[in-house]
Structure 1
Amino acid sequence: MSRAFGYRAFGGPEVQFYFDRPDPRPGDGEILIQVRAIGVARIDHMLRSGLVRALNGHLPFPQVMGMEAAGDVLAVGTGVTDITVGDAVFGFALSGAGTYAQTTVLPAANAARKPKALPYEWAATIPVSGTTALDGLDRLDLPEGSTLLINGVGGSTGQITAQLARSRGLTVIGTGSDSKRAEAEALGVAFASYTVGDVVEQVRNVAPAGVDGLIDLVGGDSLRSVAALVTDARQLLSAADVAVSELGGEYLPRRLDRASLETVAALMLNGTVDPRITRTYSFDQSAEALAAVETGHTAGKLVIAV
């Protein structure tokens, strides 16, 4: 038996609870891990709230929270030959097992070996935050010298996107609440504040002719307010709002593969990317960690150490 943190129905924080469950058994192509660190992501409370039922609407309750984790392999399922018991790994939980747990299963194809020098806490930030940033920039494929607008630069994905973009020679403008200005500017981002003046006007002051690419991490009215700033709507991506297609843009297609995980891990090791972990919680503080992300005001990345 192992302990997990999940939810008994779709809803708000009131449906969350801890419960005991048998250790999951790895199926074909899966690995069972002892979880060492969990990345806390916006998608976690969205899944709990029932906002993306295409991903979890078919699964029985209780469901375990979370999609990203790092840990040590306890067992492997049939067909897994490139990861072995004892390996330190990190990756996505895509089979409904969840990651806010002492043990969980990951698809081997969506997991990678953790480099020895990479802390578990850093590795746990890669599956959602790190690879979203990589996928967005690779999809836009902007040439050096181009201008990129990141809508919602203050969170973990936004900060990693900014770091990767700067390493590719892009000029980066980012939007966010004024409390996130210092963090963004420390990364070389020209900051446009939601709370101080008109965001569009602030961006135009930096890029009068508009921006070459736009990665949206917020969605909703915030996305609509800045969408017209991109000179070509085909260079508008959103990782937060499928309605971006109504604006001529594209909902960010995700790769979720081992190669992407390994690429971001290498970028962390060589100093290109820092996950900007601002607080580490204990497993008993899972609800507190999730609540902090759910406010939308957290800067950087939060992780849970198990």
Structure 2
Amino acid sequence: MPTAYGFTAYGGPEVQRFLELPMPVPGPDELLVEVYAAGVNPVDWKVRAGQHRAFLPLDLPAVLGREAAGVVAAVGADVEGFAVGDPVFGASARGCGGYAHFALLTASSTAHKPDAVSWTDAAVLPVAAGTAHDGLAGLVPEAGETLLVLGIGGGVGVAAAQLARAAGVSVVGTAGAAKREFVESLGVGVIAYDSGDFDEQLRSALPKGADTVLDLVGGDALNTVSAVLPPGDRIRTVADPDTAARFQALPLSRSGSTEALAELARRVAQGQLDPQVHGVFRFEDAGAALHAVESGHPRGKVALVMRADR
């Protein structure tokens, strides 16, 4: 029976453990993949804590992980374009399951991995970079325009900054002062929300306002930058519907398509996008990997490696 890492009840880290589970069987639009690497994201501990169970019901015990990369071991019914032995990366099927030696991926949210892209880089693309890609696809910022990213220091923001700058867009973002040097290294202007006069920094960085806004913080974040906001149709936000409506902003929606993931992989292979994987843990240290993400905001992305030779 393959080994996986998950949780047996909703709660804190104490409910996490290694599990011996039956080999998954791929259904329609699913691939069974031998996992070489898996991404570790804040959403993983939020799922374990029960914050998403209203819209992501799971049978317990459940396996953690929303993204993975590996080699196709079996193909589900009616799946086309993939074959056993293909190197791939994509989103976990049925909501979870990437922290495992074998996992199910959703075929329509999976792409082939180019040889030039490492397993760890591929594994962390679907959630963060995929969200960034889809957010920018909705905004369509043009070369010469300015994009304001609220919460630019996280995985989604870092990917959005790189993708936008590759298109000739000027990028400014809000982040903690501790991440200023890292974010500025990406060619991005930083407005520190926890250091100095925020309003003065905002006016200085965006004297003519922002052309487009990607709000990855939610809550009251849009209100704090209301002086520089563009029309609502040029704002994508993760804020609640009432807050979004107040600014006539549109929700940040996801497609997670094979085409989007393939484009991201091409950009990585061409050197236009660095997934910024700065934390790599062995599978046996999965608990420590998730703790690193849950206990703070680590620089860059965190990945699990399932095999020592990968």
**Into which bin does the TM-score normalised by the smaller protein fall?**
over 0.9
The within-5 A match list for 1:119-138 is 119-138=118-137
Q: What TM-score do you get using the length of structure 2 for normalisation?
A: 0.93
The within-5 A match list for 1:195-274 is 195-239=194-238, 244-247=243-246, 248-274=248-274
TM-aligned CA deviation for residue 287 of structure 1: 1.6
Which whole-Å deviations, capped at 9, do the CAs of 1:251-306 have from their partners, x for residues lacking one?
Answer: 21111110001010011111110011111111122122112222342121111111
One-letter amino acid of the structure 1 residue matched with residue 186 of structure 2? L
TM-aligned CA deviation for residue 227 of structure 1: 4.7
Q: Secondary structure at the match of 2:93?
A: coil
Which whole-Å deviations, capped at 9, do the CAs of 1:173-228 have from their partners, x for residues lacking one?
Answer: 11111111111111111111122123333121111232111112222244542355
Aligned match of 1:42: 42
TM-aligned CA deviation for residue 77 of structure 1: 1.6
Contact 2:141 2:164 in 1 (8 A): no
Superposition RMSD in Å:
1.7
Aligned match of 1:5: 5
The within-5 A match list for 1:155-174 is 155-174=154-173
One-letter amino acid of the structure 2 residue matched with residue 197 of structure 1? G
Alignment length, in residue pairs? 305
Aligned match of 1:22: 22
TM-aligned CA deviation for residue 233 of structure 1: 2.4
CA separation of 1:280 and 1:18: change in aligned 2, threshold 3 A: same
Q: Distance in 2 between matches of 1:145 and 1:258?
A: 29
Q: Indicate the percent of aligned positions where both proteins have the same amino acid.
A: 41
Residues 220-229 or 259-268, more deviating: 220-229
Contact 1:175 1:199 in 2 (8 A): no
One-letter amino acid of the structure 1 residue matched with residue 171 of structure 2? V
Q: Distance in 2 between matches of 1:170 and 1:17?
A: 44
TM-aligned CA deviation for residue 239 of structure 1: 4.0
Task: Kindly indicate whether residue 147 of structure 2 is the aligned counterpart of residue 148 of structure 1.
Answer: yes
Task: Kindly indicate whether residue 103 of structure 2 is the aligned counterpart of residue 98 of structure 1.
Answer: no
Q: Distance in 2 between matches of 1:161 and 1:102?
A: 30
Q: What TM-score do you get using the length of structure 1 for normalisation?
A: 0.94
Which whole-Å deviations, capped at 9, do the CAs of 1:121-159 have from their partners, x for residues lacking one?
Answer: 111111111111111111101221111111111122111
CA separation of 1:301 and 1:223: change in aligned 2, threshold 3 A: farther
Contact 1:200 1:229 in 2 (8 A): no
Q: Distance in 1 between matches of 2:107 and 2:115?
A: 19
Q: Secondary structure at the match of 1:265?
A: helix
Contact 2:213 2:230 in 1 (8 A): no
Residues 101-110 or 231-240, more deviating: 231-240
Contact 2:237 2:244 in 1 (8 A): no
Aligned match of 1:300: 300
One-letter amino acid of the structure 1 residue matched with residue 273 of structure 2? V
